Amino acid sequence: MPRPITATLHLDAFANNQQVVRRFAPSTKIWSVVKANAYGHGLKNVWRSLAEHTDGFALLDLAEAVLLRERGWRGPILLLEGFFQPAEIALLDRYRLTTAVNSDWQLQAIAEARLQAPLDVYLKLNSGMNRLGFAPDRLHNVWLTARELANIGSITLMSHFATADSDEGVEQQMATIERAAAALDLPRCLANSAATLWHPSTHGSWVRPGIILYGASPTGDWRDIADIGLQPAMTLSSEIIGIQQLQAGDRVGYGGRYAADGPQRIGVVACGYADGYPRHAPTGTPVWIEGALTRTLGSVSMDMMMVDLTPCPQATVGSKVELWGRNLPVDNVAAAAGTLGYELLTALAARVPIIAGE
């Protein structure tokens, strides 16, 4: 029999979550962000479900862009970080990809390329996050250069927010964008998931929702999205494969980091850090078993973890365990482990089978 851990995809959640995006940004087009193998869900598994309600796909990996084209997607595809070597421009031309441009060398490479047709580009403005992008005082001249290049078709202004998911908001970066682009009549693509939900002034021509398409919170706190109708697109589940009866003082797992206060029944679950579950998750990280919320105990091992069966005395070998999903938001698991749902979803290991559910 195969090992019981599986990641079940709820493909109907994608249409639901895109409808939520449409409700918050009714007048804009949607780039469905599918970077990092569709946030760990498997691009091959989910793109058709997303394609029914999106205007375009945005990602990083050129190979994934090619996959979408070869699987039949004919709409726009945006490379969020652009290309990394001039030689890649031939593939952008062949597969008709839209590329971010965030540096002078990229502009020069496009200018020197031999193309079948001009490429559409997204000029990346560094509005304060200080990762990629042109400095605000250079934007106008960069735009002047780009619009004169025969190899460039349409130009869209792009930027990214650092604090759209916090109380600080987007005001400072929006002020920078407005000053830098005051003389430029360009379509805009600024809003990530948080800005899409909470900052309508940023919506522009396109929004770029990512984590909310998969039913998790951009803030890392499930309560921030609990009432807007998003649905988790993945359930990570396994089974209890062993039972231990502890006595007072018995310790659990590597390092003996948990010790029983008294008689206690615990379960051993077929899931560990080699499956993508966070090794650093402490005792008390939530787990859902047989309709009850319980907790992990001790250290997470490579292939197993231990859980407290006190809240679910009926549980036995073979009982279903939800590590995250419809009953237990991934954000709650991530918060207990001191990280974000983004990390847990994208860290799902290749050895975990992904199946389509209801």
Which active-site residues does the annotation give?
Answer: 35, 254
Q: Which residues lie below 8 Å from residue 26, measured CB to CB, with a gap of 6+?
A: none
Which pairs with CB-CB distance under 8 Å and at least 24 residues apart come from 195-199?
195/161, 195/164, 195/170, 196/21, 196/24, 196/25, 197/24, 197/225, 197/228, 198/164, 198/169, 199/161, 199/164, 199/169, 199/170
Phi, psi (5° rounding) for residue 99? -125, 140
- At 244, the amino acid letter reads Q
Strand partners, 252: 258
DSSP H or E stretch at residue 257:
none
Pairwise CA distance, residues 317 & 320, whole Å: 9
